[in-house]
Amino acid sequence: MAILSDRDIKKCLKTGEILIEPLENPERQIQPSSVDLRIGNEFKGFRIIRKPCIDPMDKTDMDSYMESFYINDGEPFIIHPGEFALATTYETVKLPDNLVARVEGRSSMGRLGITMHVTAGYIDPGFHGRITLEISNIGKMPVALYTGQRVCQIVFETMTSPSEKPYGHPDRDSKYMGQKRPETSKIKHDYEIVNRSRS
C-alpha cells in the first residue's frame, strides 16, 4: 500500500475519483499527505440511564441510549473530561473501490487531550457519506469544539487491486453507507448477534 501525496490527492479530486464536499478551502485543507476535515453541527452523547450495561442482544434501540444536540454556528459544544460523544465531519466523502482511507485526529486536538476516533478510523473502499467521529476527552479540562473547526485529517492509501465487493455492494452488509448525521452503533444488526438472538 502507498499513501497518496498532496499531488495525487489533488489529481483524484479533479477527476472525481475522490469526492470531498464541500471542500471550501483546498489550499488550507490539503496537507502534504492528507486532507483536513471539519466537524459538523450535530452531536450525540450518552444519556444517564438505569441499565447495568449496553447489551447488543437487547432489543432496545441503541438510539435510546443517546441524545442528540444541534449546535449553531459560533456556539461551542463542550466536551468534559471522561466524556464521549459522536459527531460527523462537515464534509461528505466518497471513495472509489481501489482506495481505503484512515481518519486521524489533528495533532493540535490531541495536545488538548481530544481524540477523534476510538477504534473506527478506517474507511472502506466504496464508502460514501459523512464520517462519524468518536470523540473522547482524555485530558483534565473541558474543551470547546466549534462547527467548521478542523479537527481531523483523512489519509488515502492505494490497494493492491480494486475491491471485489466494496462497501455498499448489494452482497455486503454496509450499515453506515450514506450516513448524514452521527449514527449510533448498529451492532445488533451484525449477523452473529442476529443469528444468536434467533436461536
| Residue 11 φ/ψ, nearest 5 degrees | -60, -45
Q: How far apart are CA 168 and CA 178, in angstroms?
A: 9
- 149 annotated as belonging to a binding site for a ligand: no
C-alpha neighbours within 13 Å on the C-beta side of residue 18: 24
- Chain-centroid distance, C-alpha 56: 21
Q: Where are the beta strands (DSSP E) in the chain?
A: 19-21, 35-46, 66-70, 76-79, 84-94, 99-105, 114-115, 122-123, 128-137, 143-146, 150-158
Q: Is 14 annotated as a binding residue?
A: no
- Cell numbers placing 199: 436461536
124 is in an annotated binding site: yes
Consult the annotation and say whether 66 binds a ligand: no
Choosing from 134, 164, 183, 192, the catalytic residue is 134
Is 91 noted as a catalytic residue in this protein?
no
Annotated ligand binding at 146? The verdict is no
The answer on whether 153 is annotated among ligand-binding residues is: yes
108 assigned ligand-binding residue = yes
**Which residues are documented as binding site?**
106-111, 124, 132-134, 153, 167, 175, 179
Active site residues: 134
**Which residues are documented as binding site for dCTP?**
106-111, 124, 132-134, 153, 167, 175, 179
